[in-house]
Amino acid sequence: MAIRERLSGNEAISYAIKQVNPDVMPAFPITPSTEIPQYVANYIANGEMDTEFIPVESEHSSMSATIGAQAAGARSLTATSSCGLALMWEELYVAASNRLPLALCLVNRALSGPININCDHSDSMGARDTGFLQIYAENNQEVYDNFVQAYRIAEHKDVMLPIMICQDGFITSHAVENIELLEDEKVKNFVGEYCPENYLLNEKQPMAMGPYAVSNYYMETKMAQNTAMNNAKKVILEVGKEYGALSGREYGFFEEYRLDDADYAIVIIGSAAGATKDAIDLLREQGMKVGLLKLRVFRPFPDEEIANALKHCKTVAIMDRSECFRGKGGPLGAEVKAALYDYAKDVKAFNLIYGLGGRDFTVADAKRIYEDLMAYDKDGQAFEEYRYIGLRG
């Protein structure tokens, strides 16, 4: 019997952390993720979990300590946002290339400058090439569910990669909403014990971790990371299905909302999917065939699956909540368009930038996008290949 609760996104992931009870959590505070180490520290102080909490002096240190603990053989995690993730940069690559399945609870926030504390995806999108798995959430429920699944995916012997569990800063992290929690025992049984094959504190098997790799070896390690990333696709689906049997909420690479017969579709990540769903229901009542693909897994990137889900659509708007300054669109736009080029060339796709630095995304915004997609298709109304929406009038 699920537990009916009301929690913010930060409380929800902290509760999942408590239930998983990992071994080590080093952390340094940064808005809007600060509450996560706060809640965890409270749980530890109250004797509700026995994770070793390590306060450190920077995010470079928090990721370094997480890497060290994980390498030693401990199930480890940290939390951060925005510039905190940026300060971890070189360590992110170290975690991935050393094949350490640690978890990073990321609360998405814009990068400076101008300095801004609100949500966009520029932090995690900037880290898309680090070798971390990346899973995104629409709301507090999905953040909770994703964290419970995180170690099962990351620690799988065919994967062994660090995982980033992302949620939208403030929009999800600080909004109190209804949620269904699993009982502690169910979570513990689902996640299981961490039994690393190779770890530094194994005195029977002395080993070096993170040694220098000359040109004769470096390239193979990258190839191996990429193979692991590809392997993760199967594991993510298996774990998502098993979690569905446990909780009634099954997860895949993405959620399709009224997409199977849609002529016009939006591809979006995170909390803005909710407003899009409300817009879809309103437009469907007027007979418009509109739908949504809400991407959950960005690394590995499910390109063929996305293209197959969109191939019957006439026009598609790919929504990016970060800018990558290539002058032609954002990172999600580039990757979805590449997928369409390979598997569904006939779909006309546009790339829209929205929601930077916490700019709100409303039901009216989503409706207007669908109406524009239809007007382009039916009346030949102009639609820029790449544009910003929601700018000040």
Task: Return the residue of 24, 321, 358, 373 that touches other proteins, per CB under 8 A.
Answer: 358
Residues 98-117 that bind other proteins (CB under 8 A): 117
> Is 146 among the residues that bind other proteins (CB under 8 A)?
no
Judge whether 11 and 39 are in contact, CB under 8 Å.
Answer: yes
Tell me which amino acid residue 256 is.
Answer: E
Query: x/- string (CB under 8 A) for other proteins, residues 277-316?
Result: xx--------------------------------------
CB of 48 to other proteins, least distance (A): 16
Of 136 and 190, which CB lies nearer to other proteins in the complex structure? 136
Q: What are phi and psi of 336, to 5 degrees?
A: -70, -40
Phi-psi region of 312 (alpha: psi -120 to 50; beta: other; left: phi over 0): alpha
Task: Return the residue of 30, 105, 107, 171 that touches other proteins, per CB under 8 A.
Answer: 171
Find out whether the peptide bond into 196 is cis, omega within 30 degrees of 0: no
> Is 362 among the residues that bind other proteins (CB under 8 A)?
yes
Stretch of 66-74, 92-100, 176-184, 312-320 contacting other proteins, by CB under 8 A: 176-184
Strands (E), 88-169: 103-108, 133-136, 163-168
> Is 42 among the residues that bind other proteins (CB under 8 A)?
no
Task: Return the residue of 41, 334, 363, 375 that touches other proteins, per CB under 8 A.
Answer: 363
> Is 333 among the residues that bind other proteins (CB under 8 A)?
no
Task: Return the residue of 136, 147, 254, 361 that touches other proteins, per CB under 8 A.
Answer: 361
Of 121 and 152, which CB lies nearer to other proteins in the complex structure? 121
CB of 123 to other proteins, least distance (A): 17
Of 161 and 280, which CB lies nearer to other proteins in the complex structure? 280
Residues 21-40 that bind other proteins (CB under 8 A): 32
Task: Return the residue of 12, 133, 272, 336 that touches other proteins, per CB under 8 A.
Answer: 272
Residue reference for tokens 């969109």: 310
Closest CA to 145 of 23, 291, 2: 2
Dihedral sign from CA coordinates of 264, 266, 267, 273: negative
Q: How many CB atoms lie within 10 A of CB 230?
A: 12
CB of 141 to other proteins, least distance (A): 10
Of 94 and 272, which CB lies nearer to other proteins in the complex structure? 272
- Rounded to whole angstroms, the Cα distance separating 347 from 337 reads 9
| Helical (H) or strand (E) element with 284 | helix 272-285
Residues 162-185 as b or e (16 or more Cβ within 10 Å = b): bbbbbbbbbbbbbeeeebebbeee
DSSP 8-state secondary structure symbol assigned to residue 201: T
> Is 255 among the residues that bind other proteins (CB under 8 A)?
no
Query: What's the start-to-end Cα distance of the chain, in Å?
Result: 50
Q: Give me the residues that bind other proteins (CB under 8 A), please.
A: 6, 32, 117-118, 139, 168, 170-172, 174-178, 271-275, 277-278, 358, 360-363
